[in-house]
Structure 1
Amino acid sequence: MDEMKKLVAKEALKFVEDGMVVGLGTGSTTAHFIRLLGKLVMEEELEIYGIPTSYQAKFLAIESGIPVVSLDEVDAIDIAVDGADEVDPNLNLIKGRGAALTMEKIIDYRAGTFIVLVDESKLVDYLGQKMPVPIEVIPSAWRVIAEEIEVFNATAELRMGIKKDGPIVTDNGNFILDAKFERIEDPLDMEIELNNIPGVVENGIFADIADVVLVGTKEGVKKMER
């Protein structure tokens, strides 16, 4: 599985050109990409700037030698490279297992080209088939939001920390609800509906946003385009 992640990370480098501003995603697959991009920047002496989607991505970018800038320091983002937890046949995504979904969506949405890196286990027939939808919420409202999500025939649980007591806290200081749906028939509509709930900051459905999905398989890298 790790070799598949490295394969797609290497393939994503082909989209990078000198002078680009690159959105840097969060997670194990994009971590490979960030390290490879840093190596490319150093060896080729490229002028590349990275906009990280999380503290994890920021620290790794700095460690890898990639100059880091913030969203308000650039006029445009040329490409964004990120992972996903599920990808349906129409390239709709579920993201957010790393609890960085809000900044991921802000950056990925604004990129000229959004490239998604996954292994073949992330391909599904429909969103919600394997994974819950992460929803970032205002901490004081998590319980009432969890109850309201039941309207959509879903159950939501507060994500708890593994190596800490209490709930996971995002980089923005919020909580994460993981909402399990039986099936998401219309991802774009559900994305909008969830974000209309007062107290929801953002949700992990990324509908109609991915341009290219690079899939690592045992045979090599498969390219899917919108």
Structure 2
Amino acid sequence: MQNPVLSQQQNQEKQLVAAAALRWVQDGMQVGLGSGSTAAYFIFFLGEAVRAGKLRVEAVATSLVSENLARQAGIPLFEPRKGTRLDLTVDGADELDAELRLIKGGGGALLREKILATASRRVLILADSSKVVPQLGRFPLPLEVVPFALPWVLDTLEKLQANPILRSDRQNTNEAARTDQENLLVDCHFVQLPDPAQLARQLEAIPGVVAHGLFLGLAHTALVAQGEQVLVYKPGEAPRSIAEFIELP
């Protein structure tokens, strides 16, 4: 059973980093909107600023759920065009380490999340304190898989000792979960990932795997809440208080 006190603290931390991220959204930006509970708070706060006339932005979302949240918040959306380069994408993470290597995709939006992260000048990750880990792997690693390829993908994953499990739909556990692209989700339970880069190459070589949840070298900065404090993480650097920064590092 989930600890209600811990859950309340995590919720407060999510709101804290989401509000803090607004200081790095500048007028006129094209923004990528992430998915998940922390990103949802950011969308809410960004919408407040847009409706109040404090910011003019246009956005692209990493999921249909986030698109709907953005519309409800009054954030203008646009269709990406050839040559589109987003100024900033703000997203969450399921796990992150000291090098800002991430596991993402717990909500099933990993493909669009990776597309927007790759198409952005800056990627800002928001996280509560529970998401920081010494080594990736505790959280199951999601894969987006073409349905036709599923049996062969599972065979290959078993050889990699991934302990793969086809994700069930949250509303109907008798049905497989589907992504916005109508693909399947497979969760790999490695427990520890001592060499994420090597594993990423192995997963990318499997025909039928559309995307994996390892985000390596994509995040520029992370804001992590610990209690009432927000820390700024950069790859390979010691965390520093957000009070030390005027611009996005």
Q: TM-score, normalised on structure 1?
A: 0.96
| Aligned: 1:93 with 2:107 | no
Is it true that 1:160 corresponds to 2:162 in the alignment?
A: no
In structure 1, C-alpha distance between the alignment counterparts of 2:164 and 2:218, rounded to whole Å: 25
Residues 14 and 126, structure 2, Cα contact 8 Å, conserved in 1: yes
What CA distance in whole angstroms lies between the structure 2 residues aligned with 1:216 and 1:71? Answer: 32
- Displacement after TM superposition at 1:45 (Å): 4.7
Residue 74 of structure 1 deviates from its aligned partner by: 6.3
CA distance in 2 between counterparts of 1:100 and 1:155 reads 21
Q: Which runs of 5+ in 1 are unaligned?
A: none
1:117 aligns to 2:102 (yes or no): no
| Equivalent of residue 153 in structure 2, options 145, 158, 183 | 145
Matched, 1:192 2:201: yes
Cα drift, residue 172 of structure 1 = 0.3
Match of 1:104 among 91, 107, 113: 113
- Mapped partners of 2:68, 2:81: distance in 1: 19
Q: Does 1:221 align with 2:230?
A: yes
Q: What SS is found at the alignment partner of 1:51?
A: strand
Matched residue count? 225
Q: Which amino acid aligns with 1:97?
A: G
Distance 2:146 2:82 in 1: 27
Which residue, 125, 132, 144 being the options, matches 1:136?
144
Structure with higher strand content: 1
Map of 2:62 onto structure 1? 53
Percent pairwise identity = 39
> Are 1:31 and 1:57, in contact at CA under 8 Å, matched by a contact in 2?
yes
After superposing on structure 2, the runs of 4+ consecutive aligned residues of structure 1 that deviate more than 4 Å are none
Q: 1:28 to 1:182 in 2, by over 3 A?
A: closer
Higher mean alpha-carbon deviation, 91-100 vs 151-160, is at 151-160
1:41 maps to 50
Deviation at 1:41, TM superposition (A): 1.0
Q: 1:78 aligns with which of 76, 84, 87?
A: 87
- Where 1:116 maps in the other structure, the secondary structure is strand
Structure 2 CA distance, aligned partners of 1:31 and 1:124?
23
Q: CA deviation at 1:69?
A: 1.1
Structure 2 residue aligned with 1:181: 190
Instruction: Give the structure 2 partner of residue 210 of structure 1.
Output: 219
Report if aligned partners of 1:133, 1:204 keep a CA contact under 8 Å in 2.
yes
Deviation at 1:73, TM superposition (A): 6.8
SS in 2 for 1:82: strand
Q: Distance in 2 between matches of 1:142 and 1:62?
A: 35
CA-based RMSD of the aligned residues comes to 1.2
Deviation at 1:167, TM superposition (A): 0.5
